Every structure is written in structure tokens, then in C-alpha cells.
Structure 1
Amino acid sequence: MGTMFYGGEMTPIRIDDRALAHLKVVIATKLRRGESFTVSWRHAADEPPGRSTIWVHPSIPLRFVFDDPEPAVLSRAWVEELANSANSSGGIMLVPEQLDTSPAAPGATPQR
């Protein structure tokens, strides 16, 4: 389970390492362009029910902490899905990864 620290908040935002790795790529791309946006997610099963949203702005400190010392192999499809939602008026909605269950193309790299 990874952690995202946002702004001056000392309360960590806990997100699965794999999801956080994908989210980090999309957030970094948006911030590099100087764009502000929202990020929303459903609360984990061990938290009170509900969802949260934060406003992400280039001037607000942001830190990603991963439990796994090795970087995740990224899914292009998931990054694209998150990036598409980032460009919508609703902002990024952290959705579960949709695994491709179709037979792999010859030479394709399996996803972890």
C-alpha cells in the first residue's frame, strides 16, 4: 500500500502501490504543464464508507511514497484511461485497472 501526502496535511492518503504508480504518472504530466485539476477516489474497505476529492495545483506540495522498492510495470491502457479522465471537467477518478483477458499478441509483455 502506497501513500500520497498532499499539501500541509499530515494525514496520508493510502492507495495501492500499483494504482499510485499510474496516478503519479498522470499527475506529474498535468503538473509539468502547469495544469490544476481534481483527483477523486473511493475510500478503502478499512476506512469509513465514502469518497474523497482533492484539488491539485502546481504550487501545493505533493509526495508519493511506495512500499515496494521496485517500480511497477505500467499499463499504457490504465495510464491513458486516467489521463482521459484528468482532461475531463470531473478530473481524475481513480478507477480500478481493467485487465485485458484476451489472448496476448505475439511478443507482448505480460502485465503485473
Structure 2
Amino acid sequence: MGILYYGGSAMPIHIEDRALAHLKVVIVAKLRRNESFTVSWKHHESEPTGRSTIWINPSLPIRFVFDDPEAPELNRAWIEELAHSANALGGITLTEEHVESAPGHS
């Protein structure tokens, strides 16, 4: 389970390592362009039911912490889906990864 720390808050945001790795790519790309946006997610099962949204701004510190010491292989389609939502009015909505099987496999 990965953790995202944002701004001056010591409260961790728990996100699965694989999802956090993909989210990190999109967040870093947006921040490099000095763009602000929102990120929304459903709460982890260990937290009260609900969802949260944070405003990501280039002037606030952000730290990504991963349990796994090795970076996962990234799914380009998932990154593109997250990046597309980042440019929409509602901002990034962290969604489940859609894994497509290779042609001829089920």
C-alpha cells in the first residue's frame, strides 16, 4: 500500500502502489507544466466509507511513498485515461486499471 502526502498535512492518503505509480506519472507531468487540478478517489476499505478530493497545486509539496522497492511496469492506456481525466473539468478520478488481454487470449 502506497502513501501520498500532500501539502503540510501529516495525514497520509493510502493508495495501492500500482495505482500510485500511475497517478504519480500524471501528477508530475501536470506539475511540470505548472498546472493545478483536482484528484479524487474512493476511500480505502480501512477508512470510513466515502470519497475525497484534493486540489493539486505546483506550490505545495507532494511526496509519494511506495511499499514495493521496485517500480512496476506501467500501463500506458491507464496513464492516458488518468491524464485525459486530469484535463477535464472534474479533474483526475482515480479509477481501477483496465487490463486488456492480448488478441487470441481470454
Structure 1 counterpart of 2:32? 32
Q: Counterpart of 1:99 in structure 2: which amino acid?
A: V
Instruction: Please report the RMSD computed on the Cα atoms of aligned residues, expressed in angstroms.
Output: 1.3
**SS of the counterpart of 1:5?**
strand
Distance in 2 (CA, whole Å) between partners of 1:45 and 1:77 is 26
Structure 1 counterpart of 2:94? 94
**SS of the counterpart of 2:99?**
coil
Structure 1 counterpart of 2:57? 57
Deviation at 1:104, TM superposition (A): 6.8
Deviation at 1:84, TM superposition (A): 0.3
Structure 2 counterpart of 1:72? 72
Distance in 1 (CA, whole Å) between partners of 2:71 and 2:102 is 25
Unaligned stretches of 5+ residues in structure 2: none
Deviation at 1:46, TM superposition (A): 1.4
Distance in 2 (CA, whole Å) between partners of 1:104 and 1:30 is 36
Distance in 2 (CA, whole Å) between partners of 1:4 and 1:36 is 17
Distance in 1 (CA, whole Å) between partners of 2:16 and 2:3 is 8
Q: Counterpart of 2:82 in structure 1: which amino acid?
A: L
Distance in 1 (CA, whole Å) between partners of 2:7 and 2:13 is 11
Q: Counterpart of 2:26 in structure 1: which amino acid?
A: V
Deviation at 1:101, TM superposition (A): 2.7
State TM-score, norm by structure 1.
Answer: 0.90
Deviation at 1:102, TM superposition (A): 4.2
Distance in 2 (CA, whole Å) between partners of 1:35 and 1:76 is 21
Deviation at 1:45, TM superposition (A): 1.2
Distance in 2 (CA, whole Å) between partners of 1:39 and 1:3 is 14
**Matched residue count:** 105
Distance in 2 (CA, whole Å) between partners of 1:45 and 1:54 is 19
